[in-house]
Structure 1
Amino acid sequence: MGRLQVVGAAVADGTGRDPTDVDVTVEDGWITQLGASGDEPGERLDAGGLTMTPGLIDAHVHLGLSSPIQPQFSFQISAAEIAADIFATAGAALDAGFTTVRDTGGIDGGVVTTIAKGKVRGPRVLSCGPVQCQIGGHGYYGADWEPTELWSGHHLPGLCALSMMSGNADELRGNVREAFRRGASFLKLCVTGGVVSAHDRLTDTQFTVEEIAVAVQEAAARGTYVTVHAHNNEGIRNAVEAGARCVEHGTDLDEPTATLMATRGVALVPTFAVVERLLHDPAEVGLGESVRDRVLGVRERMIEALAAAKEAGVRIGLGSDLIGPAQDRRGRELSLRAALETPMEALVAATQTNAEILGLSGQVGVITPGAQADLVLWNGNPLEDPELFSDPTNAVLVIQAGQIVKDLR
């Protein structure tokens, strides 16, 4: 792989410090030096006029939901086309500057290994495999007449497996063990109803504290953690009491619950991009108009939840939650967060903080000696104009583990 010296860029290192003009030296996939690179041998890349950031991290993706949603759930799309859509989304994530993603439900282990082997372009993927759901809860999309036990027939082993249904704690224990057998690196449970749901409301709670604790116990036995899909405070509090380490969405998070999360060290991953997209055009992702009614007011409440979490001192990551086709503008999540906070806070959430949430602190998400050489060079300065994050063509050069994987110079 050799040595690569990137010179002339304004470097925003992911820690929140102001950008500095510093050369970055990469050897065999790792950052080895910051500062004047001198005349050492190796490739020299002139990045004058560009802004360098760490490779971005999306902590909430659904690669396995890259086809139109309702047709995919009703067996109208072939496995070959589903696979093509998944791999196209993976490549688009890389092209948008995302070198690491956490898949929070929908892919089976074969997708992770296929990307890791370099057979298709894509980011580093951490996956929970199928989401863990209670019978009839969020994550179940079978027809009303379809017996629950037939739902697993929607899985395509090695490719996509959206969710597993549990009726009690023993069934959940068996299902999470099966998820780990398939290669999951963490677990995700749905503990409230959801926006894209067929059989519940956002105000519903799902799984008991005792049931969630079973998943936490199984995750801890493997040195990993549980994150939860949760919109309402009762569901969040149940999950925190049971030992979950992260909350996805957190739409109605209030101040007391945010304080509880901060006290217990539980992180939050808000998801604004998917809300914007569902409000704009549900049909674009292959869903009916009824979804628009369910998402009304979610954006405003999620903004309030973000403010409550910040005030309480909760660690706040960043996730897009994009579903359906055309997941190419993943950086839109940073642009939306920049408007609610600052561009620098959005960048830190998408880099250093997300790395901490994923258990990769110091390995990715920062530009420092000893970290993986995941780097993005931006046309212009997205910290001055955060809309640049939304357009993947502004990520003119993407380096993943020291390899140039995109170059529009």
Structure 2
Amino acid sequence: MWLTGATVIDGTGADPVADRHLLVEDGRITAVGGTPPAGAEVLDLSGLVLTPGLIDAHVHLGLSSDIDKVSTTRELSVAELAADMFANCRQTLESGFTTVRDTGGVDQGIAGVVAAGKVPGPRVLHCGPILAQTGGHGYLGADWDSADDWHGRQIPGLLGTSLLSDGPDEVRRNAREAFRRGATFLKMCVTGGVVSRHDKLSDTQFTYEEIAAAVTEAEARGTYVTVHAHNNDGLRTAVKAGVKCVEHGSAVDEEMAAIMAEQGVALVPTMAVVHALTADSTSAGLPAHIAARVGNVIDGQTNAIRHARAAGVLIGSGSDLIGPHQTHRGRELVLRSAIENPMQALVTATRDNARVLRIDDEVGTIEPGKLADLTVFGADPLADPAVFDDPAQVKVVIQNGRVVKDIR
């Protein structure tokens, strides 16, 4: 396939190049520029803007339905849950996101059917169920539920929000269980969260020994632990225990950013979800009072990005959208454009996210040898970042060298 005529933004931060040509063979980019081989299928992208396929480093495909109906009242059938997840997968891909990292909610069942082409969707890397402590963030049962009942709400092959893990031995066992279900990394919640019923943002969760047990299991498989963290006390313990990525990081200051840089710990801010919850948490199927729990998380994450950037921390990008209305995944890039600039937002959601996910040898930039995961916009997102969040402006999506959306 010969892609011709587009303005190419290659994901490295280099200036856009007009009227660029790409050759795609066997699912990979084999040449940038040059002349088309005889018989090549020509895809004319004149007047359009071509970027690497977008990557969302923090999604919850398993939470694609009304949250209370999934976790508390249990009103939805397995068929409804699956239908909502499949629709979210398609919607995510057609919004230009060719790869996602699911940080709690699905297992290899969803990832497998998407990879097999049975359901349209992005490439899915996942952690399986989150490792959460009893009563901690990640446990969404009602106050009157028994924690023992939580494990019974999993639907193997489809949905498993979290595994309650208390003590190093239980953490170790559940880490192994997550890997058995196809996890490519582990996630733990080391502080309270915004979408929680039984904790505060200031709470710390898991001990050093518990976190270290998960890190040992991850390292034994050549991978890493990422942690949900909204305060630096819990985060500091996690970094000492050897985790390599932080989700949210809404309290990261200059001192913590320096520690993270020294230890090679990445940061994945999640701005879109807190803006959405502040506007209307009920649209995600959550109580109205959840919005009040956001507190200073928006300003905190904004400051964290600036501190982390100054310290040289690898910074990714995640939307963290939950519930049935995950149509604005691209809003994360719009918000990040306002904090830094549109080019940095794009690089973060392509090259740098690929580095966070440890797949930068395969995706994230436009260069020979990389998989042909490409997103084509109808207008220049660098001139108008709102384009990032407009699926109608995503004219073409190519995944593994195959056109999966074309509305030119």
- Select 1:14's aligned residue among 11, 15, 19: 11
Q: CA deviation at 1:311?
A: 1.3
Q: How does 1:5-404 map to 2 (within 5 A)?
A: 5-21=2-18, 22-73=20-71, 74-404=73-403
Q: CA deviation at 1:39?
A: 4.8
Q: Which moved more, 1:289-298 or 1:112-121?
A: 289-298
Q: CA deviation at 1:38?
A: 3.6
**Does the CA-based 8 Å contact 1:251-1:301 persist in structure 2?**
yes
Letter in 2 for 1:58: D
Q: CA deviation at 1:188?
A: 0.2
Letter in 2 for 1:24: L
Q: Distance in 1 between matches of 2:392 and 2:329?
A: 12
RMSD of aligned alpha carbons = 0.8
Q: Which moved more, 1:14-23 or 1:32-41?
A: 32-41
**Does the CA-based 8 Å contact 1:66-1:85 persist in structure 2?**
yes
**Does the CA-based 8 Å contact 1:24-1:37 persist in structure 2?**
no
Give SS of 2:319's match: coil
C-alpha offsets along residues 36-63 of structure 1, whole Å, 9 cap, x if unaligned? Answer: 3245321011111100000000000000
**Does the CA-based 8 Å contact 2:191-2:234 persist in structure 1?**
yes
Q: CA deviation at 1:150?
A: 1.1
Q: CA deviation at 1:307?
A: 1.1
Q: CA deviation at 1:405?
A: 0.2
**Does the CA-based 8 Å contact 2:317-2:332 persist in structure 1?**
yes
C-alpha offsets along residues 18-76 of structure 1, whole Å, 9 cap, x if unaligned? Answer: 11132010001000000132453210111111000000000000000000101111211
Count of aligned pairs between the two proteins: 406
Q: CA deviation at 1:146?
A: 1.8
Letter in 2 for 1:291: I
Q: Unpaired runs of 5+ in structure 2?
A: none
Q: CA deviation at 1:113?
A: 0.5
Q: Distance in 1 between matches of 2:315 and 2:183?
A: 23
Q: Unpaired runs of 5+ in structure 1?
A: none
Q: CA deviation at 1:362?
A: 2.6
Q: Distance in 2 between matches of 1:286 and 1:329?
A: 17
C-alpha offsets along residues 230-266 of structure 1, whole Å, 9 cap, x if unaligned? Answer: 0111111111111101000001111111100001110
Give SS of 2:246's match: strand
Q: Distance in 1 between matches of 2:246 and 2:30?
A: 35
Q: Distance in 1 between matches of 2:226 and 2:389?
A: 27
**Does the CA-based 8 Å contact 1:279-1:296 persist in structure 2?**
no
Letter in 1 for 2:340: E
Q: Distance in 2 between matches of 1:229 and 1:185?
A: 17
Following TM superposition, the consecutive aligned residue runs of length 4 or more in structure 1 with deviations greater than 6 angstroms are none
Q: Distance in 1 between matches of 2:398 and 2:62?
A: 24
Q: Distance in 2 between matches of 1:402 and 1:396?
A: 16
TM-score normalised to structure 2 length = 0.98
Q: Distance in 1 between matches of 2:323 and 2:144?
A: 25
Give SS of 2:125's match: strand
Question: Do structure 1's residue 408 and structure 2's residue 403 form an aligned pair?
Answer: no
Q: Distance in 2 between matches of 1:268 and 1:36?
A: 38
Letter in 1 for 2:15: D
C-alpha offsets along residues 168-206 of structure 1, whole Å, 9 cap, x if unaligned? Answer: 110110001011111111000000000000100001110
**Does the CA-based 8 Å contact 1:376-1:397 persist in structure 2?**
yes
**Does the CA-based 8 Å contact 2:23-2:36 persist in structure 1?**
no
Name the % identity.
Answer: 56
Give SS of 1:175's match: helix
**Does the CA-based 8 Å contact 1:334-1:389 persist in structure 2?**
yes
Q: Distance in 1 between matches of 2:43 and 2:111?
A: 31
Q: Distance in 2 between matches of 1:222 and 1:341?
A: 36
Q: CA deviation at 1:289?
A: 1.0
Give SS of 1:311's match: helix
Give SS of 2:321's match: coil
C-alpha offsets along residues 130-185 of structure 1, whole Å, 9 cap, x if unaligned? Answer: 00001110011112222211101110111000000011110110001011111111
